[in-house]
Every structure is written in structure tokens, then in C-alpha cells.
Chain A
Amino acid sequence: MESHSHDVRNSQSRISEHPENPNLKEDFHEEPVEDIEIKSWKRKLVGAWIFTIPVAVLMLSSRFGFEILPEKYMIPILLILGFPVIFIFGWQTVKSGVKGLVYRYFNMDSLIVLGVLVAYLTGIFSFTGILEDYSGVSSMIMAFFITGRYVETIARGKASQEIRKLLELGAKKALILRANKEIEIPAEEIQLNDIMIIKPGEKIPTDGIVVKGASSVDESMITGESLPVEKSKGKNVIGATINQDGILYVKASKIGKDTFLSHIINLIEEAQSTKVPIQKLADKITSVFVPIIIGLAVLTFVNWWYFAGDLSRAIGIAVSVLVIACPCALGLATPTALMVSSGMGAKKGILIRKGEAIQTMKEVKIIMFDKTGTITKGKPEVRSIFSITGEKYLLEIAASLEKLSEHPIAKAIVEKVGLKRYRQVSNFKILRGRGVEGKINSKEIVIGNSTLMKEKKISFDKVKEKIDEFEENGWTTMIIAENKKVLGVIGVADAVKEDSLEAISLLNAKGYRTFMITGDNEKTAKAIARETGIKEVIANVLPEDKQKKVEELQKQGFVAFIGDGINDAPALKQANVGIAIGTGTDIAIEAGDIVLAKGSLIGVVQAINLSKATFSKIKQNLFWAFGYNIIAIPVAVAGLLNPVIAEIAMALSSITVVTNANLLRRKRI
């Protein structure tokens, strides 16, 4: 029986390593790294204190004059109790520190290990009678160091929680249609053009195009857009978003590395390793910090020994210097704040690609928006209708005729009217660049611009005023005529996004100079500017000249450019901060320093707020970290600090920095 169960276990472990399913194993391996780390530090912490508490009791009692142990047993017991603390529970630190010393890639552990080992050795040498025993101190330093690490690891895990959630966002399984059968497969095995079936409440396994069904999809986890998005045949869907209420049949269009989610993850991970310029000094110091502190500890030791003549005291002070210096606080100051900030941004669809943007943002004085697709939706919409004889009839014949045209303006009219049943049209004709004509109920219908009306000898004097008004607004005007008599006009224009006005007024209120750049003529451009509150307009700009205009404006101050990333890439690069606005799955990731996954301009305001808040958090952290070292090291050198207190202070300094970074979350952006 026993051997049987053994076999089963064996075969199971073989299955889990089966080459056909390498991804499953890898996922398992990759996800809970932080949790494993926390658990491992916790084990070490418990172990270390089990041995260190008796050490502390013995040391304190002897200091206050109680004799628990006879004097001659004291030191051997301290050494025995300290051994597991340093060489078992602290082994990882000892190993890494010694390695650092040997290969001369000094790290933080090198300092602790030197301090701890020196202290421990005094215990052994104390038998010779020339040294006081510090071995008790060594286990206490190690125990406090481990405790600090444990707390710091938890705090760091918290700093990265949003990002980890994002990494784990992808669907694990997929239901797909193969040979007319529904089969469930691991999401990694989806092939291009597979038809996936997504039931209500389920995650969409990968990016694709809806081929059947209709539903609303919650995309908030990717774009930050809180309202569900309607999806029907022909619409793109994003992997890892959640299907709400209907069944969707989706053809997989992107898999693996190419999906939107993979791009976002890569972008965020890469952003973490970019540098914020302010951090440079801290980095430089960190890289030479450890050898300098070791040198300083040696000097301190020699100095105290030579001038004060007390070898034991000199050792104690040198140990304090070694353990109090904390390059970690310096090194953690920026990356932890950046991490928390990235997480906060990602939740709202703001992806910070370059750490530098966070710092540059605070210098920005001018915000320049591209018009089409950034301030506006990039798609014409009916803005106003004027009818002489009755709106219902006017719209009915206009929609029936325009239904047959593919022109964006025609589509805008059809969409606006939303007819259930269209009228029969005969003799339909598209008159390029001017309009359309056709017959409905043997009445001759013409829809088009004034050129077309003149051509057809249709008088539009009755609506002349309206046409002027529409054109003043920068709208395209379509005149509708029946049997040579004008029925009315429809004004069509690229509509401004719902929250553009709000976003731009917020920016104006903050004192930014807001600009709009466009290829449109002055009139249209000014109309949009009026509607959105944009202060200054640069019209009639060819796409290739946008970059030059940004360059010119840069003479007056730092410029942030906001554009769609596809046509505006050079301008985005030229600007001091480039903010690329994504629309759906086609975000041009390479172009911007900051990428907004959702199209709304409120994202620009949020990105600015987030950058500023993050930068001030980084500054705060660096201030604490520098301040700590600048004050603590001289105090230790002066011999005013007990080594154990020094270690506690060091641990607290790292924890303070990480905790402070976590406090960034309190900021409303």
C-alpha cells in the first residue's frame, strides 16, 4: 500500500514537469516570490529571537548586577547561543556579505557581516583576557537586522501590490471552439484565429475581435475606464478584461508577447528600472558607500585605540559605525516611490514609462494638445439640425440616403438618426467631395455642400444664415433639398471628448499655458478652442511640422505634448514630456514618456498630479535617507552609540523610507 502511494506521488511530480506544460510550472514559480521571501524572513526572525532573547536576558541581568550564571560560563554560553543566530538564521546574510567582500562587489550585507563577525570574535578572544566580550551584541545585531529585513520586505511587498496584481491579471484558462467542439485549454496554448467562447463573468483570455454575440465588457483593470464598454460583432476586445452579461465569441488576434496586457506589463517593468535624475547622486553614493564606511570604521577603530587607548571600546565603536551606516535607505528612496506611483497610475490607466518624466513634469509650463483624436474624438458627429418643414421627415430622408454612403459624415448622420426602417432609395449616386443624390418616393433628394447646391441650381438663401452660423463654428454643413427646395441643414463636426473641457479648465486654473495644434484652418481650430477653453491655437500645421512648433515653444519654457502617439511620435519625442494617448488596443507605446491607456484628457491632469506627488515623495525620501546617514554616522564615530541601538536605528531608517513611499497612496490624484 505504502509503495503504491509513493508511486502515485512520483508519477504526479513527473506530470507537473511534463514538457508540454512548461508554462504552468513557470507561473507557479514566478508569482509568489515576495510571499516566499516574507515567509523565509519570518522563519529566520522567529529562530533568531528564540536564541537572542536568552542572550538579552543574560546581558541585561549582568549589567544590573544579577548573576544568573557564574561569570566563567557566561561567555561560552553567549557564544553558543549566538552561533545559530549568526551562522544558521543569518547564514544568507553572512554568505552574501562575505561574497561581496571577496569579490569586491560590496553590498549592504558586507557591513552587517563585518560588524557581527568582529563582535562575535571578541567573545572568542576575550578568553585571552585582552578584550571585552561583545559576542552577545553580535547576536542582538543580527536579530534586529533580520527583524528589520522582515518588516522592510512586507512594506516593499505592499509597495508593489498593484503591479503584482497586474502581472497576475491574465486569464489562466480559455474555452475555445475547435472542430465544432468546445474545449478548455490553458490560456497560453491559444493559437491565433482560435475562436474563444467567453461566458458572462469570465475573463477574456487574449486580445481578439468579436465574431458573434454582444455584451458589455469591464475594461477598468486595463484602461482605468470605470464604465463597461459595449462590444458587438467587429469590435476589438482586450485580454484579461471581464465579460459582463452576454456570451461573446471572439477570434484571437494577438497572443503571448504581443497582447496589450503583455505590452503594459513590459512597459511597467521597464519603467521601474529607468532612473529619475535626482536619484543619480544617491546612486553614486550607494555604489561607493560600503567601502567608504569600511574605511571609516577602520579609521575610527585606529583612532580610538591609539588616542583613547581602549581596544575594546574602539572595537565597539567601530562596530557601531559599520552597522549604523545605511546605503539601503538611500537606494530604496527612489525605486519604492516609483513603484507605488506606477501602481497607482496603472490602476487609472496612466503608464509612466520613464522615471525622468516625473522630475521633468514639475518644470513644465506649456501644455500642447494635438486636436484630432486627442481633444476631439477624431470622428465626426452631428452637432446641430435646422429644418424648415419638420425635423422628423428631414432626418428620415437624410438617413435613408446617407445609409448608402460610406463617408464618415454620412455615417455620423445615420448614427445620429438611428432609424429602424429606412426608406426605399432609387437612382442613388455619390457626388465625390460634394454630397449624394437619389430618389425617394419619386422625389428628387440632394444632400451636400453649397457647391453642390449651386451646381444643381438650388437656392439656399432661406438657410444662408444658419450655414454662416455653422461655418463660424467650424462645422461642415450639409444642405438637404427635395425637388430643388431646401428642407434644412445639418451641421457635422468632429466632436470634442466629453471631459476635454473639464480637463483643460483644470489645467488653465493651475496656471499652465494651454495650446492646441492642428492641421485645420484657423476658423475650425478657434471654434474648438472656444468650446474647450484652450488659450492659444496654432492652426494650419502640416503633420511633419508639429515637431518644429514644439521646438519653437520650448524657447519659452518646458513643453508637455499630448498626442495620439501614431502620427505625433516626433512631436512627442521633441517635447520635454510626451504624453501619448491610447485608444483601445492600438496604443503607440514607444512614443510617449507617459502613456494614457484611456482616451480621456482627465488622464493628463491625473498624470501631472501623480508625477508631482511622486517627485515630492522621492525628494522627501532622499532627504530622510541622506539626513539619517549625515547625522547617524558622525554620532557613531564619536562613540556615542551602543552598537545594538545603532543597528535598530539602521533598520528603522530603511523601514521609514519604504513606509513613507507607501504613504503616497493617500494622495488623491
Chain B
Amino acid sequence: MKKYKITIEGMHCAACASNVERSLRKIEGVKEASISLMTKKGFITAEDYVAEDEIKKAVEKTGYKVSKVEIV
């Protein structure tokens, strides 16, 4: 299990945050994803085999950009 902290750009409404969460949860191996509209940060708990790129793509699919990925 790994825990990521991501910073998302361009997200500005509440529906946006839940869209991103929804998209992230669709990735296989993602256990938990919660995004804060207020801090523009998201915390993702995922199996080790989930690639950083998959996370980025899932966010981009909803129309936003990941500007930073950290492992916490």
C-alpha cells in the first residue's frame, strides 16, 4: 500500500472534486481517494502496483491537471 498526496490545478467547484474522486476510484487498486476543493490537494491510498501515471491520467480525464505528486 502506498499513499500519495497530489496537487490539482484548475479545480474550482464542488462537483469537480467529486468528479476527480470518482474517476480515481475507478482505477483498479485504488482503495481510497479523497480530494479537497479548498486546499486543491488529494490523498490517495493505493496498492503498490498502481502507477503514478494512472493517477495523473484519471485526474486529467475529468478536465484538470496534476501539478505535483508526493508519496507520504
Contacts and interface: CB of A to CB of B under 8 A. Distances in A.
Interface of A: 30, 33, 37, 96, 99-100, 103, 105-109, 149, 153, 156, 159-160, 163, 257, 266, 269-270, 272-275, 283, 286-287, 289-290, 327-328, 330-332, 335-336, 338-339
Contacts of B17: 331
- Overall SS of chain A's interface: helix
Contacts of B61: 103, 105
A-B pairs, 3 with minimum CB distance: A331-B14, A272-B36, A273-B34
11 contacts: A105-B19, A106-B19, A107-B16, A108-B13, A156-B38, A266-B72, A269-B39, A269-B43, A328-B15, A330-B14, A331-B14
Contact of A331 (B13, B23, B34, B42): B13
A159 B5 CA distance: 22
Contacts, number: 92
A163 to B, nearest CB: 7
A30 B7 CA distance: 10
B16 A283 contact: no
Interface residues of B, number: 27
B40 interface: yes
A273 B40 CA distance: 9
Contact of A335 (B12, B22, B36, B62): B36
Interface in B1-52: 5, 7, 10, 12-19, 22-23, 34-43
Contact of B14 (A96, A153, A286): A286
A237 to B, nearest CB: 24
Given A106-B15, A266-B5, A332-B14, A273 B42 contact: yes
Contacts of B36: 269, 272-273, 335
Contacts of B22: 105, 287
Given A105-B22, A272-B36, 11 more contacts: A105-B23, A108-B14, A149-B12, A159-B38, A163-B39, A266-B72, A269-B39, A270-B5, A272-B39, A331-B14, A331-B18
Contacts of A335: 14, 36-38
Contacts of B63: 96, 99-100, 103, 105, 107
Nearest to A153: B12
Contacts of B41: 269, 272-273
Contacts of A338: 38
A266 B35 CA distance: 14
Nearest to A661: B38
Contact of B18 (A37, A156, A287): A287
Contact of B40 (A33, A103, A275): A33
Nearest to A159: B38
Nearest to A100: B63
Contacts of A332: 14, 37
A336 to B, nearest CB: 7
A147 to B, nearest CB: 15
A30 B40 CA distance: 11
Nearest to B22: A287
B3 to A, nearest CB: 9
Contacts of A33: 40
Contacts of B12: 37, 149, 153
Contacts of A163: 39
Contacts of B13: 107-109, 327-328, 331
Given A105-B19, A105-B61, A287-B22, A273 B35 contact: yes
A269 B8 CA distance: 13
Contact of A103 (B15, B38, B62, B72): B62
A106 B23 CA distance: 12
Contacts of A160: 38-39
Contact of A289 (B10, B15, B16, B37): B15
A451 B14 CA distance: 70
Contacts of B43: 269-270, 273
From B10, B15, B19, B41, name the one whose CB has the most chain A CB atoms within 10 angstroms: B15
Report which residue of B12, B14, B17, B40 has the largest number of chain A beta carbons within 10 angstroms of its beta carbon. Answer: B14
